[in-house]
Amino acid sequence: MPASSYFSADYAEARSRFLAAAKAAGAQMSVYRNPARGPAGEDLTTDVAWLGPADAERVLVTISATHGAEGFCGSGAQVGWFESGLHREAPAGTALLQIHAINPYGFAWLRRVTEDNVDLNRNFIDHGATYPVNDGYEELHAAICPPEWTDAVIAQTRAVFEAYAEKHGPRGLQSAISGGQYSHADGIFFGGNAEAWSRQTLLAIFAKLLSRARHVAVVDYHTGLGPRGYGERICVHAPDSDSLARAGQWYDDDITSPFLGSSSSVELFGVNLTAMEEALPHARMTGIALEYGTLPTEQVKLALRADNWLHVHGKVDSPKGRAIKGQIREAFYQDADDWKQMIWDRAVETQRLALAGLAAS
């Protein structure tokens, strides 16, 4: 079966495909209902499949749709893992935990954020403490999120970004825009001022299903950063930690680290993988974000800004709104057979290496 057949056209199809494939494989299922509704008023859920011994000490965890609109990629890998029969490769005593659409609102509405406009991968922070300040974002917010969205405004704001990059460097601009911020609830890369539903749900799943695990591998699927179709294994374990060294061993040193400057990603506030590791003090966790490129970075950021404008100032059900939604879809999901094949091949390679690493632990 061609890899393209594992990918779905929208959230509803992805959910249906995942449920059918997981059940056919004999997985145990659980459902978490999101408080929001979909574009057609439909229910939105995070669906969880567990395949393997209930008391497994070794578990491979996959997560899709941390950034909702990126869910097409991860869902395709999860559906394909079941439909292709690759789930049968798990060594004896090893379980598979697939978390489908952890941010179902973003997946259904073609938004990167949650129902609260929160970037889930900036939300895993102590909301009772003082928030970190992103001075660069503060300086650029008015240009990042203008009240009007026209070609003239886009050109004007591009000049602002170019001037900032001239002063602080391209990576300084990237940190300012995407590092995370906690002061503009109507902005992009907003980490929230409270625990998002998706954060609570993810940690509840971990508490419920991984309390007996001793060795956990996590592959969190993302898109929108890096060369088209290439899957970068981004590891946010602390530098000089056993976890980072172990990830290097598992993946034949084919990993990158924002802390070491080797990743296409900058250092971020409140990331989920760090919180997952903290939630498993009884286990050794080896986690990566598997990040696939789509469009050039400037086009992806432009789509994000347009979508933010649309939901703050515009009308989703309008010609302009529909055009922006098409722009977002293209920024995070390349509906092309060659791209899907690259996603699938790297996913298979990565999850097989993770299983081998778990078996050797």
Closest CA to 50 of 23, 78, 28: 28
Q: Which two tokens stand for residue 358?
A: 């778990």
Domain-located, residue 92: yes
Domain-located, residue 326: no
pLDDT tens-place string over residues 162-179: 999 999 999 999 999 999
Element (H, E) at 335: none
Q: Are residues 87 and 213 in the same domain?
A: yes
Q: Are residues 54 and 10 in the same domain?
A: yes
Residue 264: per-residue pLDDT: 83
Greatest Cα-to-Cα distance within the chain, rounded to the nearest angstrom: 60
Q: How far apart are CA 199 and CA 196, in angstroms?
A: 5
Residue 137: per-residue pLDDT: 97
Q: Which two tokens stand for residue 91?
A: 């060594």
Percent share of the chain, pLDDT over 70:
100
Contact call for residues 190 and 181 (beta carbons, < 8 A)? yes
Sign of the alpha-carbon dihedral angle for 164, 298, 223, 346: negative
Q: Is the pLDDT of residue 285 over 80?
A: yes
pLDDT tens-place string over residues 222-250: 999 999 999 999 999 999 999 999 999 99
Position 180 confidence tier, pLDDT thresholds 50, 70, 90 = very high
DSSP bridge pairs for 232: 291
Segments forming the whole domain that contains residue 116? 3-126+194-295+333-360
Q: Is the pLDDT of residue 1 over 80?
A: no
Q: Are residues 276 and 306 in the same domain?
A: no
Q: How far apart are CA 160 and CA 324, in angstroms?
A: 22
pLDDT tens-place string over residues 142-152: 999 999 999 99
The residue type found at 52 is: G
Domain-located, residue 340: yes
Residue 58: per-residue pLDDT: 98
Residue 266: per-residue pLDDT: 81
Write down the pTM of the prediction. 0.97
Closest CA to 277 of 249, 306, 250, 238: 238
Q: Are residues 168 and 291 in the same domain?
A: no
Residues of 6-43 as b/e, b for ≥16 C-beta within 10 angstroms? bbbeebbebbebbbebbeebebeeeebebebebeeeee
Domain-located, residue 328: no
Q: Are residues 145 and 97 in the same domain?
A: no
Q: 310 to each of 32, 112, 117, 182, 305, how far by Cα in Å?
A: 28, 13, 12, 21, 9
Residue 200: per-residue pLDDT: 98
Q: E strands within 38-191? A: 43-51, 58-63, 94-100
Q: Are residues 157 and 275 in the same domain?
A: no
Q: Are residues 247 and 283 in the same domain?
A: yes
Contact call for residues 297 and 353 (beta carbons, < 8 A)? no
Residue 273: per-residue pLDDT: 96
Q: Are residues 159 and 14 in the same domain?
A: no
Task: Quote the number of domains for the chain.
Answer: 2
